Amino acid sequence: MTENVVIDILTDKRVLLLILLTLGAVGWIFINGGPFNGGLKFGIDFSGGVRIPILLEQAVDPVTMQEMVDNIKTRASAFGLSEVKVTPVGDSQIFVEVSKANPQLVTDIERILSKQGVYQGIVDGKVAVSGDSLYPDTVRRDNPAYYGGVDWVVAFSLTSDGQKHFSEVVRGKGNFPLYMYLDRPTNAIVVISKEDLLAQSTIGTGINQQNITEEQAIKLVISALNLEGHSVPIYLEEGISEQIESDTLKPFDENTAVIISKNSSEKIKGQLTSLGFKLKEKSSADMQPVYAVSGTNLGFVVNRWDALGLKSAPILSPSIANGAPSQSYVITGAARGKGNEKIADADLSAREIMSVLKGGALPVQISLGSVQEVPAKLGQEVLNLSLLGLVFSVICIAVMLSLRYREPSVVLPIVLTSISEIILLLAIIGSFSIDLAAMAGIIATVGISVDAQIVITDELLKKREDDDIQHKLDGAFHIIVTNATVAIVAMLPLLLFSGLVEIIGFATTTVIGYILGVSISRPAYATVAKKLFVSKKAHEKVAVVQ
Amino acid sequence: MDLPNPYKGDYKKLVIVPISLAIISLILILFISPIRLGIDFKGGIDVEMLSSAPPNLQMLKSDLEKSGYTVNEIKTNKNPAGYMTQAELSRSKKMLKADELKSAYYTQRKEVAELEANSVIKNDSALRAQYEQKRLELDKTANSLFELSGSNAIAGGFSTTNLLTKQVQASFVKISDEENSNLRSIFASDVPDASTSFKEMSSSLSDDFISRAFMVVVYSIILTSIVVFLIFRSIVPSIAVLSGAAADVLFALGAMAIFQIPLTLASFAALLMLVGFSLDTDILLTMRVVKRTEGSAADRAYESMKTGMTMSMSVMVAFASLLALAYITQISIYYEIAAVAIAGLIGDLIATWAFNAVIILAYMQDMEKKGKTIMKRSLLSYIFRS
């Protein structure tokens, strides 16, 4: 083989494409932190963790699916499980994954998912309405046209005891906010930074813009957290050290939690833990109270505060607050935007209120699938061994090919093409998630890839009446394309319609492997083989002349 | 690798091998050793336990059986991290009963809660009466579950369906927690210092998996058949190719029966993949023998066999690596995929070169005698050119 042939091969556009794509894939993996630090994403089989598949009792549309996913996320984070990954799979499954293997965590998630949340509507420090006092199946949308000046209406009916209690609590509380909580913490304190407290303190824009002062904000959050016997005390992070040092801050009992931002200093977190508080860390966004204008003598109100489970704070109309008990009540609201955007926003707000009133009940009944736990150390070991297995399979195939063809110029290109294919496949699948099934698929792809290159090689090496190389390659490609088509078709139903998520990785990898092979690596290999073959033949002729 | 050309002379008797193998596989699967379903398809609990010392399996088994579990399989293998014990249990009778009652409750609850809500919203006494009547049936189911959980609650005492449902959920969680902690404590006390993971499948989920898997098989067969017919556009080669694929799957199932490889999602995926793998050698054979003219048909078949063997070997080597990996790591998904694929590929060698090749050669001779054109051009050949 002369240098000219090598240059010729390397500058061919198909070979160049494969080389560039492979280098691109390697570069991309390293730009994203290297193969083991984020460049390739691994499933919990390799990274360690817990996976709980959730099966919906019936297929749902994408909107409902998103609602289910959000609902599970919200409730999981209400219980302090902020590292939970919730992924919709097809139209009837959801995966909940936690990257820590901890049996308690699994029990917690199972508990959260199998139980309804607790809804509480609090008015001026008293529970006016709770999940137990309303009929969840009566929670319904109503036509906003009947109410005038509003964009959405949600109606619900109370039980007879519930009606009595509600009318007693709200009497004389016209224009007070009804704080709607889902899974409000009962035994907890909040430690918040000034920055988070005031992050959302500017309301409205332009001439309507209003600013809430620190003093006002503190009053508002205290009012929102007020509940007879179960108030949640709030402390500013900036002053917490003094409190700790002066020994005035103590947990109520051994279960008292402290709700605190993830970004808070480790020192404060450590001090609180050593005092006996259980840390419930929340994202900064969840820690920030969202304020709104209440349009009443109160001026402003905390309308949403995710870290505490506060979902909304509609204002009680004076007619409700002064009237007799009623069976049905409505919550109304305005939506942002114009046209379709407004309709979508109204829909979203109404759905959320309905979900809160139903105690966060999921729109479709669910059942839990098989819970899988993988310790992180075991995961890492399995990953190392699997990658070793991948390398081992390439080496074995190289040995086998050497025995069969006894010619490095045949074996080397086959092996190199297969390696590029593996790299491309790892980069593609690794941008989603490589799980055990996908890894098995990648190892299988080595076989598939070599298999097709053998067809090309044998076609080229074969003696035929017409010695036209292009004709031979056409024949080889016909076989390869036919085979890939049938193999992909056989796997498609599993990939597209089954929802059998545990093995979809395998189907995805083999299908992508076939597609990559037919479209990129086989044409590249064919070019290499063809050029090498022609150059070899030329040499043979030269030898004969001499 | 110089094998004699088996297609010269009386090649037709070669079919005895695959046909008898197929019959043996069928007899094995149907009468002697039926394929074991993994928990993915029949429900149950898979336990994987890693311990530093080999556990006392006898004791573990008898303790589990005392607590109402059926132990379908239990074994220990050594892996680099220690001893890996794998057990497959049926869910306890109590849990099965609780599951059944829970799903019955939810089926009934839907109607009852709707009636209740409508009677409230419309303030309709006829609906109310209907609700109360239906509610009695619901109460019965709930009471059975309360009894099972050992709680004193009485369904009739809950004023709304919502409150009753909460109690039903609590009772179910109680039962499932008790059963889980019971199972965990058996393993923990019999094998201290082990890390144990449990994979549990309810029967409703495994039923769902069965129906999904069945649907996948049906679609796969239909789609594959259509595509093969479109590609070959002749009945005999198409049927030969498809029956070759079916034979591969059948041989693989036979091997699963002999080696006790359970049918799980992983082995199911491997079986589907075999369809694709089986076809590559079949297509190579059919294309070369039927569509080309150089040499005799028997020579072309023999040449194809040499290429085909190398192809199958390369795929087998890849799966053999996976199998070796499975033995080292004791990961069942690797083992199930690799073992099924290797069995199927060995079967494929027999099916392709002793069955398909014979049919194709016989078909060629028949056609040549009649002087017909052998095959139409494949549709794909119009689309793809290298």
Predicted pLDDT at A546: 34
Shortest Cα distance, chain A CAs vs residue B34, angstroms: 24
Whether residue A101 has pLDDT greater than 60: no
Q: Do B173 and B222 fall into the same domain?
A: no
Confidence at A296, pLDDT banded by 50, 70, 90? low
Q: Do B110 and B150 fall into the same domain?
A: yes
Mind listing the pLDDT tens digit for each residue in A437-454? 898 899 888 888 888 888
Nearest Cα to Cα of residue A517 among A488, A475, A474: A488
Domain-embedded: residue B340: yes
Predicted pLDDT at A103: 62
**Residues constituting chain B:** 386
Mutate to test the interface with A, among B165, B185, B272 (most CBs of A within 10 A): B272
Among A44-48, A124-128, A163-167, B373-377, the minimum mean pLDDT is found in B373-377
ipTM value > 0.90: no
Asked if B39 has any chain A CB less than 8 Å from its own CB, the reply is yes
Please state, as a whole number, how many other Cβ atoms lie within 10 Å of the Cβ of residue B139: 20
* Token duo for residue A471: 């004709």
* Token duo for residue A19: 């080389």
Distance CA A199, CA A261 (A): 13
Q: Cβ contact (<8 Å) for A114 and B172?
A: yes
Q: Cβ contact (<8 Å) for B216 and A107?
A: no
Domain-embedded: residue B89: no
Nearest Cα to Cα of residue A359 among B194, B160, B308: B160
Q: Do B126 and B268 fall into the same domain?
A: no
Predicted pLDDT at A49: 80
Share of chain A above pLDDT 70, in %: 86
Q: Do B232 and B373 fall into the same domain?
A: yes
Q: Chain A residue with minimal CA distance to B106?
A: A365
Domain that includes residue B299, residue range: 11-38+202-383
Q: Cβ contact (<8 Å) for A482 and B338?
A: no
Domain-embedded: residue B324: yes
> Partners of A157 in the beta sheet?
A328
How many Cα atoms within 13 Å fall on the side-chain side of residue B29?
A: 19
Q: Given B179, B210, B225, which residue is the final one in a domain?
A: B179
Q: Do B343 and B256 fall into the same domain?
A: yes
Asked if B225 has any chain A CB less than 8 Å from its own CB, the reply is no
Asked if B133 has any chain A CB less than 8 Å from its own CB, the reply is no
Confidence at A193, pLDDT banded by 50, 70, 90? very high
Q: Do B276 and B129 fall into the same domain?
A: no
More confident residue, A373 or A388: A388
Predicted pLDDT at A172: 85
Predicted pLDDT at A92: 67
Q: Do B174 and B229 fall into the same domain?
A: no
- The residue ranges of DSSP E strands in chain B, in sequence order, are 44-51, 71-79, 82-89, 195-201
Q: Which of B163, B224, B384 sits opposite A486 (nearest CB)?
A: B224
Whether residue B174 has pLDDT greater than 70: yes
Is the distance from CB of A364 to CB of A58 less than 8 angstroms? yes
Please list every residue in chain A whose beta carbon sits closer than 8 Å to the beta carbon of residue B122: none
Mind listing the pLDDT tens digit for each residue in B68-98? 888 988 988 887 778 888 888 888 888 889 8
Shortest Cα distance, chain B CAs vs residue A390, angstroms: 8
Q: Cβ contact (<8 Å) for B205 and A502?
A: no
In A204-233, the residues whose Cβ lies within 8 Å of chain B are none
Asked if B37 has any chain A CB less than 8 Å from its own CB, the reply is no
Distance CA B268, CA B211 (A): 13
Q: Given B146, B179, B212, which residue is the final one in a domain?
A: B179
More confident residue, A425 or A51: A425
Domain-embedded: residue B78: no
Asked if A63 has any chain B CB less than 8 Å from its own CB, the reply is no
Please list every residue in chain B whose beta carbon sits closer than 8 Å to the beta carbon of residue A373: 197-198
Q: Cβ contact (<8 Å) for B284 and A477?
A: no
Predicted pLDDT at A288: 92
More confident residue, B294 or A241: A241
Predicted pLDDT at A544: 35
Confidence at A144, pLDDT banded by 50, 70, 90? confident
Among A292-301, A363-372, A408-417, B116-125, the minimum mean pLDDT is found in A363-372
Asked if A55 has any chain B CB less than 8 Å from its own CB, the reply is yes
Q: Do B280 and B364 fall into the same domain?
A: yes
Please list every residue in chain A whose beta carbon sits closer than 8 Å to the beta carbon of residue B228: 486
Please list every residue in chain B whose beta carbon sits closer than 8 Å to the beta carbon of residue A450: 314-315, 318
Mean pLDDT within A113-133: 83
- Across the beta sheet with A140-142, what order do the strands follow? A140-142, A152-157, A328-333
Mean pLDDT within B340-348: 91
Q: Cβ contact (<8 Å) for A493 and B215?
A: yes
Among A130-144, A458-472, A497-511, B95-109, the minimum mean pLDDT is found in A458-472
Mean pLDDT within B351-355: 89
Predicted pLDDT at B377: 52
Q: Cβ contact (<8 Å) for B329 and A386?
A: yes
Complete DSSP assignment for B154-184? -GGG-SSHHHHHHHHHHHHHHHHHHHHHHHH
* Architecture of the domain delimited by A49-111: 2-Layer Sandwich (3.30)
Q: Do B229 and B372 fall into the same domain?
A: yes
A49 φ, ψ (degrees, to nearest 5): 145, -165
Whether residue B146 has pLDDT greater than 90: yes
Q: Do B140 and B281 fall into the same domain?
A: no
Domain-embedded: residue B86: no
Report the largest interatomic distance among the alpha carbons of chain B, rounded to a whole angstrom: 90
Predicted pLDDT at B330: 80
Mean pLDDT within A456-476: 77
Q: Cβ contact (<8 Å) for A483 and B220?
A: no
Q: At what angle do helices B16-27 and B332-350 cross, to 10 degrees?
A: 140
Asked if A450 has any chain B CB less than 8 Å from its own CB, the reply is yes
Mean pLDDT within B272-287: 81
Complete DSSP assignment for A368-431? E---EEE-HHHHHHHHHHHHHHHHHHHHHHHHHHHHHH--HHHHHHHHHHHHHHHHHHHHHHHT
Please list every residue in chain B whose beta carbon sits closer than 8 Å to the beta carbon of residue A136: 113, 162
Whether residue A190 has pLDDT greater than 90: yes
Asked if A434 has any chain B CB less than 8 Å from its own CB, the reply is no
Among A347-361, A377-391, A475-489, B345-359, the minimum mean pLDDT is found in A347-361
Distance CA B331, CA A374 (A): 12
Shortest Cα distance, chain B CAs vs residue A133, angstroms: 9
Mean pLDDT within A176-186: 87
Mind listing the pLDDT tens digit for each residue in A57-71? 666 777 778 878 887
Residues of chain A with CATH 3.30.70.3220: 49-111
Mutate to test the interface with B, among A114, A417, A494 (most CBs of B within 10 A): A494
Q: What is the CATH number that goes with domain A3-43+375-545? A: 1.20.1640.10
Q: Do the strands A257-261 and A210-211 form a parallel or antiparallel pair, or are they unpaired? A: unpaired
Q: Cβ contact (<8 Å) for A482 and B380?
A: yes
Q: Chain A residue with minimal CA distance to B264?
A: A503
Q: Do B174 and B207 fall into the same domain?
A: no
Q: Given B179, B194, B225, which residue is the final one in a domain?
A: B179
Is the distance from CB of A193 to CB of A236 less than 8 angstroms? yes
Q: Cβ contact (<8 Å) for B202 and A367?
A: yes
How many Cα atoms within 13 Å fall on the side-chain side of residue B128?
A: 7
Share of chain B above pLDDT 70, in %: 95
**What's the structural domain count of chain B?**
2
Is the distance from CB of B198 to CB of B89 less than 8 angstroms? no
* Token duo for residue A468: 């036209």
Predicted pLDDT at B18: 87
Confidence at A298, pLDDT banded by 50, 70, 90? low
In the block, residue with structure tokens 């089986």 = B278
CATH code: domain of residue B376: 1.20.1640.10
Q: Which of B121, B161, B294 sits opposite A465 (nearest CB)?
A: B294
Residues of chain A with CATH 1.20.1640.10: 3-43+375-545
Q: Which of B169, B200, B380 sits opposite A371 (nearest CB)?
A: B200
Is the distance from CB of A119 to CB of A102 less than 8 angstroms? no
Q: Which of A392, A497, A507 sits opposite B219 (nearest CB)?
A: A497
Per-chain mean pLDDT for chain A: 82
Q: Cβ contact (<8 Å) for B269 and A365?
A: no
At a CB cut-off of 8 Å and minimum separation 6, what does B381 contact? A478
Whether residue B315 has pLDDT greater than 90: no
Mutate to test the interface with A, among B107, B314, B384 (most CBs of A within 10 A): B314
The one-letter amino acid code at A289 reads P
Mean pLDDT within A149-178: 88
Confidence at B134, pLDDT banded by 50, 70, 90? very high
Q: Do B28 and B165 fall into the same domain?
A: no
Asked if B324 has any chain A CB less than 8 Å from its own CB, the reply is yes
How many Cα atoms within 13 Å fall on the side-chain side of residue B355?
A: 26
pTM for the model stands at: 0.72
Asked if B331 has any chain A CB less than 8 Å from its own CB, the reply is yes
Shortest Cα distance, chain A CAs vs residue B179, angstroms: 13
Whether residue B380 has pLDDT greater than 70: no
Q: Chain B residue with minimal CA distance to A415?
A: B314
Q: Cβ contact (<8 Å) for A451 and B280?
A: yes
Whether residue A23 has pLDDT greater than 90: yes
